[in-house]
Structure 1
Amino acid sequence: MPRFYLHIRHGQWRVEDLDGSDLPDLDAARSEAERSARALLEIQRVDGAVLAGQSFEIADASGQVLAVVPLKDVLELP
């Protein structure tokens, strides 16, 4: 099973996922990034942080970014 890394990007700043996760495919990695984004957004909402261009970068074991999931894309607005 391939290993995917979900790095958090905010402009030039990046927090790297050093452990990664074994997931069946890129779709599963995207779903995991969306779940993680929702959890992060909830923390930011409680803390009063501002959403400003943050995203998850999904990378493979070689470090190549395969997809980007902007946090704003997982917002469920009324």
Structure 2
Amino acid sequence: MPRFYFNVRAGSTIIEDEEGTELLSLEEARAEALLDARSLMSAAILEGDDISGRSVEISNDAGEVLFILPFTDAINPKA
């Protein structure tokens, strides 16, 4: 089963996911990234912070970025 890493980019800073998560497909990883972004944004809103400029970068074991989910897409997902 492939392992996906969900790194959070805030400008030039990257918060790395060092453990990753085993999922069946990139589609499952995209759904997980959407939930993660919504959770992080919810917590930030409660603290009075705006982190909508961040994004989740999904990468594989080789470090290749497979998909980028801007946090703003977690509010208004593209069809």
TM-score range, shorter chain: over 0.9
After superposition, give the CA deviation of every residue in 1:3-56 in whole Å (9 maximum; x if it has no partner).
000000011001000000000010000000000011001001001111342000
TM-score by length of 1: 0.93
Task: Extract unaligned runs of 5+ from structure 1.
Answer: none
Distance in 1 (CA, whole Å) between partners of 2:45 and 2:6 is: 21
How many residues align? The count is: 76
Bigger mean CA offset, 32-41 vs 49-58 = 49-58
SS in 2 for 1:8: strand
Task: Extract unaligned runs of 5+ from structure 2.
Answer: none
1:17 equivalent in structure 2:
17
The CA RMSD over aligned residues, in Å, is 1.0
Q: Which runs of 4+ in 1 moved over 4 A?
A: none
For 2:7, the aligned partner's letter is H
1:42 equivalent in structure 2:
42
TM-score by length of 2: 0.92
- The percent of aligned pairs where both chains have the same amino acid is 38
Distance in 1 (CA, whole Å) between partners of 2:20 and 2:52 is: 25
SS in 1 for 2:61: coil
Distance in 2 (CA, whole Å) between partners of 1:6 and 1:75 is: 18
